[in-house]
Amino acid sequence: MTRNKATSTPAAPAASPLLSDSVLTHEHVVPASHGHAFRVKADSHFRIVDLHGEQVVDLMAWVLPPHSKSQQPTEKLSMAYTRFHLSGATPAIGETLVSNLDNPLLKIVKDTVKTHDMTFMSCNPSLYEQQGLHGHRSCAENIAEVMEPYGLSLGDIRGTDPFNVFQNTPYYTLKPLGCSRAGDFIEMKALADLVVAVSCCPYDVGGFNGGKVTDVAIITES
């Protein structure tokens, strides 16, 4: 679902309090356990907002091919290249996430949580099947669904490491250590024309994601 402050009429309900920034006006709610892809132009900002708390959001990003809309994107956000450049295990405000060609793609400009993960893969069908959970939604499939129009498959997504926003897994700790609260957000600035894909992580096993997967919001400039 989407809401746009610029198109609201005086009779419409008040805009979401999330839309308090004069530049970031468009809110898209990503339903629990689902994905969303959106384009951002270089120098524009966007936010990922945890609406209910303790919800992890897997994020991947690709540079849009400049010459052909039908061309499959190949340059993408890389956690391995990014880890090489960072001062710590998670990006600080002002630090940059880079691509597999070592180009800067996203800059962290605001962050009310400051705890994220850059080491784990996205949850995927195999992970759930190993636990007897057949047909369970997964981040890898969510992102594959929304990136299919760009020519990417589940195999492409499973070969891409995500930036796990709001995921608290220090030193590879696989315990339900939620860290974000309702209303927390991270804001990033795009440093190239990108398509960004996010997944509201469906991993509801063992108390992760607060034990109940919930919606998140993406706030963009238009």
Residues that bind Zn ion in the complex, under the rule CB under 5 A: 123, 139, 201, 203
Q: Considering beta carbons, is residue 59 or 194 the nearer one to Zn ion? A: 59
Nearer to Zn ion, 4 or 124 (CB): 124
- The residue type of 144 is A
Minimum distance from CB of 105 to Zn ion (Å)?
21
Backbone torsions φ then ψ of 59, nearest 5 degrees: -130, 135
Give the span between the Cα atoms of 9 and 44, in whole angstroms: 26
Nearer of residues 25 and 209 to Zn ion, judged by Cβ: 209
Nearest distance, CB of residue 163 and Zn ion, angstroms: 12
Q: Which is nearer to Zn ion, 143 or 191 (CB)?
A: 143
Q: Return the C-alpha torsion angle 169, 174, 175, 177, nearest 10.
A: 20
Least Å distance, CB 127 to Zn ion, is: 8
| Cβ neighbours for 188, distance < 8 A, ≥ 6 positions apart | 45, 46, 47, 48, 97, 106, 107, 108, 109
**Least distance in angstroms from the C-beta of 198 to Zn ion:** 11
